[in-house]
Amino acid sequence: MFGGLVANMTFGFLKVAMLFATVRAAGGTVQGYDVGSMSAYIWVSQGMLGSVNLHGRLDFSERIKNGDVAVDFLRPVNVQMATIATEVGKAVFALIPRGLPSVAIGALLVGMTMPTSPTAYVLGLVSLVIGITVSFSTVYLVAVAGFWLIETRGIQILYMVLSGFFAGLFVPIALFPDWLLALAEATPCPSMMMYPIDILTGRTTGGAAYGLVGVQLAWLAGTLLIGHLLTTAGRRKLEVQGG
Amino acid sequence: MVDYIIETDGLTREFTRRGKGRETLRKTTLRAVDELRLLVGPGESVGYIGANGAGKSTTIKMLVGILVPTSGTVRTCGIDPHRERRRLAAQVGVVFGQRSQLWWDLPVRESFDILAAIHQLPGAAARSRSTELIEQLELTEFLATPVRQLSLGQRMRAEVAAALLHRPRLVILDEPTIGLDVLSKQRLREFLITERREHGTTLLLTTHDMGDIERLCERVLVVDHGRAVYDGSLDGLARAAGAERTLVLDFADATPDLTGIPHTTHLGSEVAGARQRLAFDSEMTTAATVLAAVGERAQLRDLSIEEPDIEDVVRRIYRASR
């Protein structure tokens, strides 16, 4: 946990160096970001890094590979929902030791612009939890491919490369050229991280903020549905590894 | 009409295997369970034995809805296991000897709490049942220990408790005594005997340990290549297998091979014949007769009798059925 915090801070300062330079080179604002709001983007995104799954790994894929998934199917629970709920629980907890300190330290050392209205925080937290859930309902799709492929590391790495970029982990997706922005918005990735950040930092407010939460919920429903269908189909295909 | 706890007919499961490299497209079909018909009534105790790869685990996984049958029908506790897996899970308890259903990093007690929550057991029922299990399986001393720090014997006892927490009607144990020492095996068997007596639980168990079968099972089912080749009592099994006992004879001096004694087979000699092994058929002759015949030929110093082991019985049943 502490190691994770140190890593968050280190990369946070790297992002500060690069993105502040971008803002200044553009003459003080770029796509509506000034130094204060860019700082808010950086530290909130760093704080979410320990909770939003942008690496694509899931215990569940390990359990498919070694056959422990047999034990999961022995329980009177929906395996997809139980898997996602367990992971979301852990991720929300990680906000305390890893998320909040990242934001607090960034705010103290660099300074940032924060919204003044309480709705931004309340709706922002809702959006944050949905975002975390979307990341796990999407990563579950990567894991469940293991019913057919057994080894899913290839897809997992592909997910890791693409999701961080499209989720707005490295730069805000508003800085993308139009075609790339359109591409990003055609994936569930912005719903995992970019939209919660936009709401939490007060960049998007009012009706537009509710609109973003609506988009998040749509992606959540979509990924859960696909995950459900794949789980059902995969169970017909399932072979328990290791006897 | 009897409501069977386990009811299968024509139950079949095939696996496809692909070749390597250039042969990737060539598929071979492997039939793990082949037209299995099995009826188990309430309260029965069935030992399910067979060589490794005979299809025992695959059958179990179909009985509880983990695997889908390729063809045939299966009903467990009157339920279609694959279609209504979650409803069935409330009535069946399974222990896979080589997998764990406990939470590796959590204390045993907390694993039980989580399982009680997963099964939505009412608080009082969960408490009284776990107290009962903790007492009978002697888990008290390591209840607060994380699962990863338990010895194998301790962990297996905790696994059995975890599988029985929700008072299942059917308990399936897949090699529950694998790797356990004599004392741990003994405890586990005694517990299962008590559990059956008090709750009328139906028991299905696979094992390679003849002791498990002798102590726990009234009925034995032997499978070979996914087919049932014997279904009946344990005594009947030994008869059907014509299982011979083996005399291990130690002589004072080197002795020529003891061949030609009626109803015996000379299995081998060691130390230039100072130790010899004779198999005899207990239906045709007696140990005393054999010993008398041996005594005429050489001076006996010591002897012991080996009972047939389960692998041996299985091998004989296989040979007879092929």
Q: Which of A68, A74, A235 lies at the smallest CB-CB distance from B64?
A: A74
Instruction: Give CA angle at A62 (B96, A135), nearest 5°.
Output: 130
Locus of tokens 């924060």: A114
Q: Which of B66, B87, B118 lies at the smallest CB-CB distance from A70?
A: B66
Which structure tokens are listed for B23?
């042969």
The answer to whether position A133 is within a domain reads yes
| Closest by CA position to A150, among listed A223, A63, A78 | A63
Give the count of domains, chain A.
1
Closest-CA residue of chain B to A77: B86
Counting every residue, how long is chain B? 322
Strand order in the sheet with B6-18: B27-40, B6-18, B71-76
For the stretch A86-95, pLDDT in tens is 999 999 999 9
CA pseudo-torsion sign B195, B200, B203, B208:
positive
For the stretch A187-221, pLDDT in tens is 999 999 999 999 999 999 999 999 999 999 999 99
Within 8 A by CB and 6+ apart from B132, the residues are none
Cβ contacts (< 8 Å) between A240 and chain B: which residues?
57, 61, 66-67
Q: Residue B320 pLDDT > 80, yes or no? A: no
DSSP string, B160-216: HHHHHTT--SEEEEESTTTT--HHHHHHHHHHHHHHHHHH--EEEEE-S-HHHHHHH
The answer to whether position A137 is within a domain reads yes
Q: Can you tell me the distance from the alpha carbon of B105 to that of B88, in angstroms, rounded to the nearest whole number?
A: 28
For the stretch A142-182, pLDDT in tens is 999 999 988 899 999 999 999 999 999 999 999 999 999 99
Q: Which of A112-126, B50-64, B295-309 has the least mean pLDDT?
A: B295-309
Between helices A79-94 and A206-237, what is the axis angle to 10°? 140
CB A173 within 8 Å of CB A203:
no
Q: Say if residue B236 is in the same domain as residue B247.
A: no
pLDDT at B251: 87
- The amino acid at B60: I
Q: Say if residue B199 is in the same domain as residue B275.
A: no
Confidence band (pLDDT; 50, 70, 90) for B83? very high
CB B174 within 8 Å of CB B10:
no
The answer to whether position B317 is within a domain reads no
Which structure tokens are listed for B133?
């299990």
Between helices A118-144 and A206-237, what is the axis angle to 10°? 20
The residue range of the domain holding B274 is 242-311
For the stretch A107-123, pLDDT in tens is 999 888 888 889 899 99
Which pTM does this prediction carry?
A: 0.85
Q: Which of B68, B92, B96 lies at the smallest CB-CB distance from A71?
A: B96
Closest-CA residue of chain B to A72: B101
Q: Residue A1 pLDDT > 80, yes or no? A: no
The answer to whether position A7 is within a domain reads yes
> What are the beta bridge partners of residue B38?
B8
Q: Say if residue B74 is in the same domain as residue B177.
A: yes
Pairs of residues, one from chain A and one from chain B, whose beta carbons lie less than 8 Å apart: 48
Phi-psi region of B65 (alpha: psi -120 to 50; beta: other; left: phi over 0): left
The answer to whether position B322 is within a domain reads no
Q: Are strands B92-96 and B170-174 parallel, antiparallel or unpaired?
A: parallel
Instruction: Check residues B287 and A230 and name the one with the higher pLDDT.
Output: A230
Is A149 part of the contact surface with chain B (CB cutoff 8 Å)?
Answer: no
The answer to whether position A21 is within a domain reads yes
CB B224 within 8 Å of CB B316:
no
Q: Residue B264 pLDDT > 80, yes or no? A: yes
Region A232-241: mean pLDDT is 86
Interface of B with A (CB under 8 A): 15, 57, 61, 64-68, 82, 85-87, 89-90, 92, 94, 96, 98-101, 118-120
The answer to whether position A121 is within a domain reads yes
Q: Say if residue B266 is in the same domain as residue B250.
A: yes
pLDDT at B1: 45
Interface of A with B in 42-71 (CB under 8 A): 67-68, 70-71
Is A25 part of the contact surface with chain B (CB cutoff 8 Å)?
Answer: no
Name the minimum distance, in Å, from the CA of B142 to any CA of chain A: 23
Q: Which of A73, A76, A236 lies at the smallest CB-CB distance from B90?
A: A76
The residue range of the domain holding A18 is 2-237
Test B99 with A68 for CB contact under 8 angstroms. Answer: yes
Give the number of other Cβ atoms within 10 Å of residue B236's Cβ: 13
Counting every residue, how long is chain A? 243
Q: Say if residue B178 is in the same domain as residue B117.
A: yes
